[in-house]
Chains A and B, each alone.
Chain A
């Protein structure tokens, strides 16, 4: 904010709201102007969907199935990278310290990254849904389109938490590597690229330890192509993962703070 006379007053409600919006705007523009981030996160899910959902199509249900799983996959990217890499980089470069000296509430910092992930997620959802509907003839009832979009976008909750946990612990130089190490194997092992039912049964047993598996099963439930587990259990598992990730993140910040 420009140094005007109102800089000395305590922040009012509208001033606080301004900070939230401005920080979110800043974060979104920063990320949007980083082609190294935007291109892979936006293009990969859409490209995979075109390959496996539209062109190849292992079964007539494939376009619908992959719409759900690539949607979740698409949300993992912006969520994990925004927090995991962004946070580590800003901390190591000192930008985080600088921000901490401003009156900006920490909530604005966190929310700006969640909102950025959501906005990218909306672009991916729109892209995937349009491809699914018009290139692969996916037909869903209106409630299903909305519910699927909602479940896919809700992926920001566990994956931003996971990103936060990673960002709190790792250094900037290793953040990209670590995030990729979590991101790609988890996506595969959770059945986001290839349905888990097509993989050897060993993979089914492994998949349950990944939040992405439970998140994708929730998305697949909307289109009745899930493995048949209870939605309540999947929600509970996603919730547990989120709490654990947040706890790990808090522990990471404490460690950094005391150093």
Chain B
């Protein structure tokens, strides 16, 4: 061997060693903890103990606790309990046990109650839903039977003005509007008779979003608060401006169910709110979503292997439509700062998500809300208290919200130390509801039976009027369906469909107007276009931006999936891949609407032609 050959041999050896070390390191790097289920399937329920676990008891963290659960309730909590020999035990080392979470602001429909409990939200405080549905769900909260849904407390129907915020959902949820103070006592009595657990009042003129909504007058809000108190019910108020928040406080409201982003609260005002005992559910999850910073990717990523339902995926992927984007962006930061100032001034904050609004998901978003509360300056313990003991105290739920003797065994068992890092709250090992293990997997509901798509791809070329090759055809449509006063009309002219009308911003919470097409034999009957690629059409118009909304007749799709397009003065072709509509089952279409949204309000006109799903 020559000298250089030795050098070569040595170099090659070094290189091989380096490669081996490199591969060795990669092999040794830690992998995600296997998802709960396989290894933990044997976890006990009903009567058992979790030993040596870090407990968040609703107020504070306590290390090395034993928690003894008997018949679905917590029997004892303490260090090194004297437990029966035969009691099944779960090792809690390296893990945290918290009370089941209480989401202070949700809306209930579709799969939300199951979605909630699968992510550790064992109780929800619903701030507006169908009163009949609420009545059917309330009894479950009274017993300790096995359930796959979160317990429900609800305001039921909300109080709002005719055409005001909340009425945009009136095709799904009935709303009995009111507009005079003297109607308040009867309205509140009707809610009490329906079973409302408290009264929710909407005080919202849209100004924070650059819109104008019909709103209850200040004196009507006051009359509703007084009537609620006369009936022994709490009154909470939806506000989106500082002025309305201060008004609501002055009128004696018990709580505000959003934080506002229009103006910053000054510290003296915040202190007054604290002294008045008003609580606030900041719903930062929707504040960031409106500001264009929805937490969907972060939350889906952190959900890990835990199954996420189609409704959760869809609402996370959705975005708020309409509203003034510039106003919204600063509003998110101001909302966060207001939450920070309110907390600093001693106002009690409750964790609430406003799920399943666009950009949020029932259950999953509660973990995002905890992170947002941390960002607003709450400690891990304070944020968790806002999601457990504080809502329980405020809403008089004495049987839950704490890990304490006699309380219901609604428990969330998390890998890691939440005191150190609250963002680990999604690393759920197990959830117990009433002492029973919550099944985290989903039997996904069957998609509504969609009829197969016809052979033809062309829907309408409008050569012979406003007809369609298949389906129930075209209709003019507007927010009049929800009590608004926008107008729309359709005419076939020169082989194209002319859509014109006026979007009236003052009439409805979600002003819109345009044309809707139903591909099925009946309106909203779904048709399966999943083997097709895209919606294609030609358009021209006044240069404004319009929106294609895709409706699915699924209960989960109450918020339509929307994609914008611009109608330029010259004809252009627009092609939108069906996959761009964030629906649970891409390609299933119940209705397609080509609409103008406010802002801007006012008259509009555009034409569409050669509408095709290909």
Contacts and interface: CB of A to CB of B under 8 A. Distances in A.
A254 interface: no
Interface in A141-158: 141-142, 145-146, 149
A201 B2 CA distance: 62
Interface in B408-431: 423
A142 B31 contact: yes
Interface string A199-224: 00000000000000000000000001
A15 to B, nearest CB: 10
Interface in A104-153: 119, 122, 125-126, 129-130, 133, 139-142, 145-146, 149
Interface stretch (A21-29, A81-89, A180-188): A21-29
Contacts, number: 65
A155 B29 CA distance: 22
A59 B375 CA distance: 10
B31 A22 contact: no
A55 B20 CA distance: 31
B29 A145 contact: yes
Contacts of B26: 129, 142, 145-146, 149
Contact of B371 (A2, A60, A125, A133): A60
A interface secondary structure, majority:
helix
A163 to B, nearest CB: 22
B301 interface: yes
A24 B18 CA distance: 15
A224 B302 CA distance: 11
Contacts of A18: 4-5, 8
Contacts of B29: 129-130, 133, 140, 142, 145
A4 B1 CA distance: 12
Contact of B4 (A22, A24, A126): A22
B24 to A, nearest CB: 10
Contact of A126 (B25, B30, B297, B302): B25
B32 interface: yes
A139 B33 contact: yes
B371 to A, nearest CB: 7
B4 A225 contact: no
Given A25-B11, A140-B29, A141-B31, A225 B297 contact: yes
A98 interface: no
A24 B301 CA distance: 42
A24 B11 contact: yes
A1 interface: yes
B269 interface: no
Contacts of A2: 2-4
Interface string B1-35: 01111011001100000100110011101111100
Given A18-B4, A140-B32, A225-B297, A61 B25 contact: no
Interface in B335-363: none
Contacts of A130: 25, 29
B2 A22 contact: no
Interface string A71-83: 0000000000000
B423 A126 contact: no
Interface in B225-267: none
B18 A61 contact: no
Contacts of A1: 2, 4
B445 interface: no
Contacts of B18: 119, 122
B298 interface: yes
Contacts of B298: 59-61
A126 B29 CA distance: 10
Interface string B275-301: 000000000000000000000011001
B326 to A, nearest CB: 13
Contacts of A146: 26
Interface string A216-249: 0000000011000000000000000000000000
A126 B20 CA distance: 12
Contacts of B32: 139-141
Nearest to A2: B3
B11 A61 contact: no
B302 A61 contact: yes
Contact of A21 (B2, B11, B30, B297): B11
A50 B4 CA distance: 42
B7 A140 contact: no
A59 B29 CA distance: 22
Interface of A: 1-2, 4, 17-18, 21-22, 24-25, 59-61, 119, 122, 125-126, 129-130, 133, 139-142, 145-146, 149, 224-225
Given A60-B371, A142-B27, 18 more contacts: A2-B4, A4-B2, A21-B11, A22-B7, A61-B297, A119-B18, A122-B18, A125-B22, A126-B25, A129-B25, A129-B26, A139-B31, A140-B29, A140-B32, A141-B32, A145-B26, A225-B297, A225-B301
Q: Lowest 4 A-B CB distances belong to which pairs?
A: A60-B423, A139-B32, A25-B11, A21-B8
